[in-house]
A and B are shown apart, each in its own frame.
Chain A
Amino acid sequence: MSFITGQVTTSTGAVPQISTIWSNRDVLDTIKVRWSVGRMNYKVEPGIYAVGTPDENSNVFVTANFKLSFDHLRRALEGMNAWVLVLDTKGINVWCAAGKGTFSTKELIRQIDRVGLKNIVNHHKIIVPQLGAVGVSAHEVRQITGFSVIYGPVRADDIPAFIRAGMKATKEMRAVKFSFWDRLKLIPVELANGAYYLILIPALFIILSGLYPKGYSIDLAFHDGLRSVFILIVTYLTGCAVTPALLPWIPFRRFSLKGLLTGWLAALLLMYFHVLGQQTLEIISWFLMMGSLSSFLAMTFTGTSTFTSLSGVQKEMKTAVPVQIGMAGLGVIGWILAKFIVL
């Protein structure tokens, strides 16, 4: 492992010492994770690690064994002497793992026990990232292990300031933000998630595009097909990239309505440039399909956003999904009909 630089000896044995500086490889890993390239493979061996030359009075920071979580933590500990306790979260980040129950009270207790934390430090404090609170119950950990959980800041980068303030996080550090930049960083994942459909659906449209009243034309399949694919890509980008990026500035609270609005705006734009075809029926069909697709894609962003509740999303989906399916169905039927009848 490239981040291990040496060893520190403790009463329980040797502990690997880790670097606080990112290598080129670490930077590359981060980019690959953003673009979902082999994203399941970025695991760190669970257990205890040393930053600098920690002793029995040094702070203990807990994190997940997702490499990005681990990397952000060790980078934030630059210049400190500290212990890092990595839980086995199956390579998933703190928040997801806490929600899924792998970053949990049980796993924390298990690792404290396994590495013999009581013999490594002589204090009773462990610093857990605040988002881990979804899976960890501080009072239960204290009852069973004697260690008090102190919830650190949401973002690892705030750790130095948190330590300087005597382990107090400001309101700022406690809040999960979802800035323009945060949203932009998530767009690659959104785009990559749908990549599979990005091949399947356009292929279908190209094949169907060849239909015309007298039979089938490869030529038509090519021309009309490419036009359809272009429209689909525009819709895809509208739902998956433009809508998330502009989220707070698009009216409506429901993500599906936000997506419907942006989808229709995109459709208007394309109509203006005559991309949606000449026939009224085809244009109407495109409006139905584009609105539905963009709305659905925008709705899936609820999973990546940081402020949507389960009850809220369920309520939204109850009305949105039937409407989306209906619109898409009508759109496809209309689009095919438009090839045979002139309206």
Chain B
Amino acid sequence: MNGLVYLRNVVTLKLDQQKCNGCLMCTIVCPHDVFAIENKKAVIQNKDFCMECGACEKNCPENAITVRSGVGCAAGIINGLIRGTEPTCDCGSEGSTCC
């Protein structure tokens, strides 16, 4: 997609299909088209596109999705290391994105 894919096989996204009720919410909120619905259940179709934003986890009514969400941002990680906190972005307010 867009020729812009980041590193392979590092993403922490997990889906427990047992819990899924097929509500479609994850396919709606994901900005990178990671989920698809097959046989009324969600499936992860494009795992490497995931940017770990956490929208799917937050909006899954059945708690079927887990992902370690955070800012995928070098400056944010450095910030976090300096302050001894989780990676946090110091972004003021850019147009459409973070940091």
Size bracket of the B interface: 35 or more
Q: How far is the CB of B59 from chain A (nearest CB, A)?
A: 5
Looking at A8-16, A18-26, A128-136, A285-293, the stretch in contact with chain B turns out to be A128-136
Residues of chain A within 8 A (CB-CB) of B97 are 95-96, 186, 304-306
Which of B3, B58, B96 has the most chain A CB atoms inside 10 A of its CB?
B96
Whether a CB of chain B sits under 8 angstroms from the CB of A185 is yes
Known: A40-B92, A189-B94, A253-B5. A312 touches B72 (CB 8 A): yes
Residue of A151, A302, A313 with most partner-chain B CB within 10 A: A313
A81 an interface residue at 8 Å Cβ cutoff? no
**Contact A253:B7 (CB < 8 A) given known A178-B2, A308-B72:** yes
Instruction: Please indicate the chain A residues that have their CB under 8 angstroms from the CB of B6 in the complex.
Output: 253, 307-309, 312
- How far does the alpha carbon of A42 sit from the alpha carbon of B97 in the complex, in Å? 16
Distance from A217 Cβ to chain B, minimum over Cβ atoms (Å): 37
Q: A130-B31, A134-B54 are in contact. Are A310 and B95 (CB under 8 A)?
A: no
A323 at the interface (CB under 8 A from B): no
A311 touching B12, Cβ below 8 Å: yes
**CA separation between A96 and B90, bound complex, in Å?**
9
A174 within 8 A of B: yes
- Which residues, 85 to 128 on A, are CB-close (under 8 Å) to B? 91-93, 95-96, 98-100
Pick the contact of B98: A39, A171, A177, A304 (CB < 8 A): A304
Complex: chain A residue closest to B94, CB-CB? A189
By secondary structure, the A interface counts as: helix
Instruction: Determine whether A223 belongs to the interface, using a CB cutoff of 8 Å to chain B.
Output: no
With A133-B59, A151-B29, A313-B73 already in contact, the answer to whether A304 and B51 are too (CB < 8 A) is: no
Do A96 and B25 form a contact, CB below 8 Å, given A303-B71, A306-B51, A314-B77?
Answer: no
Shortest CB–CB separation between residue A270 and chain B, in angstroms? 26
Decide if B52 touches A311 in the complex (CB within 8 Å): yes
CB < 8 Å neighbour of B32 from A155, A307, A311, A316:
A307
What per-residue 1/0 map shows which CB atoms of B1-26 lie under 8 Å from chain A? 11111111011100000000000010
- Which B residues lie within 8 Å of A309 (CB)? 6-7, 10-11, 50-52, 72
B72 and A302: CB pair below 8 A?
A: yes
Q: Which of chain A's residues have a CB closer than 8 A to the CB of B37?
A: none
Take A310-B70, A314-B77 as given contacts and tell me if A93 and B5 are in contact as well, using a CB distance cutoff of 8 Å: no
The reply to whether the CB of B75 lies closer than 8 angstroms to some CB of chain A is yes
A154 interface residue per 8 A CB criterion: yes
| Residues of the B chain whose Cβ atoms lie less than 8 Å from the Cβ of A182 | 96
Q: How far is the CA of A242 from the CA of B17 in the complex (A)?
A: 43
